[in-house]
Chains A and B, each alone.
Chain A
Amino acid sequence: MNNKVKYGGLLAFLILLLSLPLFFSDPTFFSIAIFTLLYASSVIGWNIFSGYTGYVSLGYTAFTGLGGYTLAMICDHWQISGGYIPFLLVPVAGLVAAIFALPMGWVALRTRRVTFVVVTIALFFILQSLALNLSDFTGGSSGILFPASEWTGDFYNMPYYYVSLALLVVAVIIAWWIRNSKYGLGLLAIRDDEDRASGLGVKTWAFKLSAFVISAFLGGMTGAVMAYYSGTIFPVSAFDTSLNVAVALMAFLGGVGTLGGPVLGAFLLEPLQEYLTIQYGSSSLNLVILGALLLAVILVMPEGIFVTLPKLWQKRNTAHLVSTTLPLAEQEKVAFVEGNAGESK
């Protein structure tokens, strides 16, 4: 894909998002928009570790929950007033999640990929139960209330909207920076063939752990904003089991390991999820539809939209170039030419 077209499109998209409040004022719309933006940031965060290294985590919510609780506890403990100030503490929430990620990653990354998944689930549950049981700190099952802000009516959503948008921009920048660096290349090499990468001098342990921590940082920040927006935090909402799978799903739908995939996946699935909830209530029909949809997507497009569509497009364009009746040498020459079609990232 032409770089100018890519960047131009992104800029246009950003401007669109920035000016959305000028065209819409429906609070439900913005509620969905805010969650979509936040989900997009978390999926990017998830993708930075799990998508790039191939170590799939199903316990990402551990970090969003940590971020949420950090923000809540700080506001509660130091009697921080509502409004704009808690937003300034969001990076702190991210940092705390990142610090927790160090020992967590150190333990989890000792295992091979399949076991790793289960360890992330275990770590997630441990944190959830700590939130529930250490009620002196965390308010137990009733949780903690965030300080109320003075915003009312139509304006209420705006600060959250713009902060979420800013967070998404930050997430995209970090992801883009990583993807285009030697570091990101190393991560992807780990995904393809870790031992080979290690043998070639890629410091796999350091790479994996650092990606895990960066991923946690983003997760902590998104979780903090999510929690603040909800106004209250308690163990089940902060450490939400379904979110663990939702981020993985969105990443897979859009295209794991790509730059735009996570955003695409979030922008597609989150509004759908919200729509289903509104239409059918958080009832079981919701689950059935979602599950069936997921099945269809995974079986049909396991590599995600971002990767599968360009491939299909490419196949169409080059299908006529190679004929099976050509002698072998000729075919090889043609194959060399065909290679120039390249792949968009």
Chain B
Amino acid sequence: MSLFIAALLSGILAGGVYALMASGLTLIFGVLGIVNVAQGILVVLGAYLSYALEQHFHIDIFLSLLITMPAMFLLGIGIEWAFVRRLKHTQMRIMLSVLVMFAVALVIEGLLNIVFTPDQVSLHAPYIDATFSIAGFYLPYVQVFAFLLSAVLLLALYVLVYHTRFGESLRASMQNRTAAALIGIDVEKVSMITFGIGVALTAAGGVAYGATTVFNAASSYDLISRLLVIIVLGGMGSLRGTFFASLIMLVISDLAAVKWGPQWSSTVFFVLLVVLLVFRPQGLFGKLEGRSQ
């Protein structure tokens, strides 16, 4: 029983981290209409950047975010401007965006492998390599810190999206691109900034992820698959949905790992998605749109 509760707790903690990573993905889809399949490798890139800063300059991994987040934000804007913007709004757009982002991911993956070698690494900070106990359960500090980081940033994101002018423009663009443009919103600029934010979030996600798992460039595949499943489950474009879906998915897969062994945890993840889609093709919070896309 206690194993289950431990799994529940770790699932929630991990869920927060995944929610952070997936939020960028769902926002990007909502505003730009594209599926950023490079999100996985970008998280890994963020992790590696913090790793490098820690190794060479001894900068604390959480503080390194002050450098890596702006850097990744700029990278995101750069990618949007250079590649995403070129994709015309034709019917093929979504598919082409997947291929383009995949190509970008390949390039980044290759570069990371060259620079950092395929050896697996992990992010460390001396003050968190310990566990503390609460009500008889041992929780690694690392997981808790990662969760707190995620929670703080998700809260900041929520405030940004729902309580600022920019957030208004963002939500308007998400709901109806043409209408938003008609009322004077610079949709292109909003798209660019949203993409930048989505990528900046991966820097933080990278720290959270890298601190709680060993990783290398190849980890991005499993990561992006899970992230995609989460945003589909939550309903694409829905921040709320992403949050709940992350928690649900991680808790259930951790519980499954306890019950049937860790090798099944990923499988359960995907099976859950498939099962849900049979009953609710639009995900938890998605909209059931017509299929004339």
Contacts and interface: CB of A to CB of B under 8 A. Distances in A.
Contacts of B103: 290-292, 294-295, 298
Contacts of A286: 110
11 contacts: A54-B91, A113-B94, A114-B35, A119-B277, A122-B228, A129-B266, A192-B91, A193-B292, A256-B92, A287-B113, A302-B87
A295 B278 contact: no
Contacts of A111: 277, 281-282
Contact of A245 (B88, B99, B110, B114): B99
A135 to B, nearest CB: 10
A145 interface: no
Contacts of B92: 256, 302-303
Contact of B274 (A112, A123, A284): A123
Interface string A191-211: 111111000000000000000
A332 B264 CA distance: 65
Q: Pick the most buried of A126, A133, A295: most chain B CB atoms within 10 A of its CB.
A: A295
Interface stretch (B156-164, B174-182, B200-208, B283-291): B283-291
A58 B273 contact: no
Nearest to B221: A241
Interface string B236-247: 100000000000
Given A58-B98, A119-B273, A133-B264, A299 B225 contact: no
A85 interface: no
B106 A291 contact: yes
A332 to B, nearest CB: 26
A284 B111 contact: yes
B264 A129 contact: yes
A194 B291 contact: yes
Interface of A is mostly: helix
Interface in B55-105: 83, 86-88, 90-92, 94-96, 98-100, 102-105
Interface of B is mostly: helix
Q: Pick the most buried of B92, B98, B112: most chain A CB atoms within 10 A of its CB.
A: B92
Nearest to B265: A129
Given A126-B271, A290-B106, A299 B113 contact: no
State which size class the interface on A falls in: 35 or more
B128 interface: no
A290 B106 CA distance: 8
Contacts of A129: 263-264, 266-267, 270
Nearest to A106: B278
B254 interface: no
Contact of B263 (A118, A133, A193): A133
B250 interface: no
A56 B98 contact: yes
B3 interface: no
Given A287-B107, A295-B83, A299-B83, A115 B277 contact: yes
Contact of B99 (A113, A196, A252, A289): A252
A121 interface: yes
Contacts of A298: 96, 99-100, 103
B197 interface: no
A284 B110 contact: yes
